[in-house]
Amino acid sequence: MNRINIICLGVRDMERSISFYRDGLGFKTDEKDNNPDVIFFDNSGTKLELYPLKLLAEDVDSENPPQICEGFSGITLAYNAKTKEEVHQIIELARNAGAKIHKEPQDVFWGGYHGYFSDPDGYFWEVAWGPNFIFDDNDMIQV
């Protein structure tokens, strides 16, 4: 049985977010529209879904939707790189696409290498490489 992992991000501005992920970071999608109702990006082993934040909050609870707020939610998304050089490449792609870089790539106490950026909607991404990272044939990290 095939399992598709979907990460759903509520976004404030579909066009801006689509431009960031599709055009800036090069995430793959068959969607050509710049402002669809929903968009899915194919990534190695998972899919990233963008959906308008207001509609997502209403989907959670139409009578009393969760409050949409600014700031750090305590959740980060992760891009697991195969090399230290790939960490730099992804951080530079994000920078050129308009991301805010919060931590330039650097060595980490656990022996790896990482950096952080946030996308136009404020979602934080860690781009990390680890000396013990092993990837399967679908580019999924084995933990």
How many angstroms separate the CA atoms of 37 and 50, rounded? 9
Q: Is the pLDDT of residue 39 over 50?
A: yes
Does residue 139 fall inside a structural domain?
no
**CA-angle at 56, arms to 53 and 60, nearest 5°:** 140
Does residue 142 fall inside a structural domain?
no
pLDDT in the model for residue 1: 44
Does residue 141 fall inside a structural domain?
no
Q: How many structural domains compose the chain?
A: 1
pLDDT in the model for residue 143: 66
pLDDT (tens digit per residue) in 63-92 = 988 887 777 777 789 899 999 999 999 999
How many angstroms separate the CA atoms of 109 and 124, rounded? 20
Read off the pLDDT of each residue in 132-137 and give the average, rounded to a whole number: 89
Spatial CA neighbour of 13 closest among 95, 90, 123, 93: 123
Does residue 135 fall inside a structural domain?
no
CATH assignment at residue 14? 3.10.180.10
Does residue 38 fall inside a structural domain?
yes
Range of the domain at 92: 5-62+72-129
Does residue 39 fall inside a structural domain?
yes
